[in-house]
Amino acid sequence: MSGFTTPTAAAPQAVQLHRRPAATPQPAGPWSVEAIQALLDKPLMDLLFEAQTVHRQHWPAGDIELATLLSVKTGGCPENCGYCPQAAEFDTGVKADKLMEVDEVVRAAQAAKDAGATRFCMGAAWRAPKDRDIEKVSALIGAVKGLGLQTCATLGMLESHQAQALKDAGLDYYNHNLDTAPEYYTDVVSTRAYQDRLDTLQNVRSAGISVCCGGIVGMGEAPVHRAGLIAQLANLQPYPESVPINSLVRVPGTPLADSDPIDPFDFVRVIAVARITMPKARVRLSAGRQQMGEAVQALCFMAGANSIFYGDKLLVTGNPDVDADVQLLAKLGLNGHRTQAQEDGAKDGAAHHAVPCESTCG
């Protein structure tokens, strides 16, 4: 019919799929400093998304492990670690005390357990314990395990036979931090070598004790040194089961007291990259939380931190108190983690365990 045009069917519209950015593929071999630096340099929102994606592939959402740290032997350390108020040569007001008695430690451990902690970490300010010290600490380990808590110790450098003795006593974790990258280490401490720390970690591994090992940021290091620290940790074979990330607590009287504080977002980046490079490790938000505030801590949890020190003191420096932590976890909808080993122990009185620990000392 004239004047009538058959309508033409509309061309089909192309459908565009908006895909989430893929996670950065992990290198087949060891993590290079360059690869880790590239992660640290990513836009923050992209980095957080990637870290949270990796985190949820390996850990339950909202699961936060609670651990308590007690200084069982304070002060008088012959090392000159620039961050540490327990070094004998620094005038920080910290007095040297002898090793605590078993009953004192048990009371503190029971209080920590009653407050919700599942791991109890014991720190002693030694360069390297003597064999007689190991015997005394072994008694502490046995007493704490008798309460149904996981145990961790940080005592300084260990010989292989000492590590084995601690294993025989029932120690679950040993903390010995690398502190920073190898090339920056001598700017922080000169009384021992980086290799000394690696040798202790090897002795701990050979004894069958799980490793807790991390570092400190905000000590005046360059960003490449933060990448270098994470590279050292991630390339350990295997990488640590527990990785404490500390923000320097600037203590008057220590050589690093005047260090510029790390930018909070840079600290969050370190947490995120630790999670991406060590996906199955407990990444612990450790020293310095008191100065961070709730918002920065929340970003750290988003970045993959899933463990905190719980209590009002870390060795000799302040920490958010228990009530503040309970309130923060409740605000964020996070849950304190109760280990399966502790569940089993509650049922049958068993005192065997295993999971992670840390500190700014060790």
d(CA 46, CA 49): 5
H/E element holding 6? none
d(CA 335, CA 337): 6
DSSP state of 239: P
Q: Please say if 84 is a catalytic residue.
A: yes
d(CA 255, CA 18): 52
Residue in 77, 300, 357, 361 annotated catalytic? 77
d(CA 15, CA 227): 41
d(CA 336, CA 322): 12
d(CA 30, CA 33): 10
Question: How far from chain centre, in Å, is Cα 267?
Answer: 13
d(CA 118, CA 284): 14
344 neighbors 139 (Cβ within 8 angstroms)? no
Q: Please say if 250 is a catalytic residue.
A: no
Residue 63, classed as helix, strand or coil, is strand
153 neighbors 174 (Cβ within 8 angstroms)? yes
Residue in 84, 213, 357, 361 annotated catalytic? 84
CB contact set of 362 (below 8 Å; sequence gap of 6+): 123, 154, 155, 156, 175, 176, 177
Length of the chain: 362
309 neighbors 69 (Cβ within 8 angstroms)? yes
Q: Please say if 107 is a catalytic residue.
A: no
Measuring CA to CA, which residue among 284, 300, 297 is closest to residue 328? 297
Torsions phi, psi of 346, nearest 5?
Answer: -65, -25
Q: Please say if 81 is a catalytic residue.
A: yes
Residue in 192, 212, 275, 282 annotated catalytic? 212
Residue in 119, 250, 284, 289 annotated catalytic? 284
Torsions phi, psi of 85, nearest 5?
Answer: -75, -5
CB contact set of 219 (below 8 Å; sequence gap of 6+): 82, 83, 179, 180, 184, 187, 188, 248, 256, 259
Q: Please say if 152 is a catalytic residue.
A: yes
Residue in 19, 56, 119, 121 annotated catalytic? 121
Q: Please say if 213 is a catalytic residue.
A: no
Q: Please say if 300 is a catalytic residue.
A: no
Residues labelled as active-site residues: 77, 81, 84, 121, 152, 212, 284
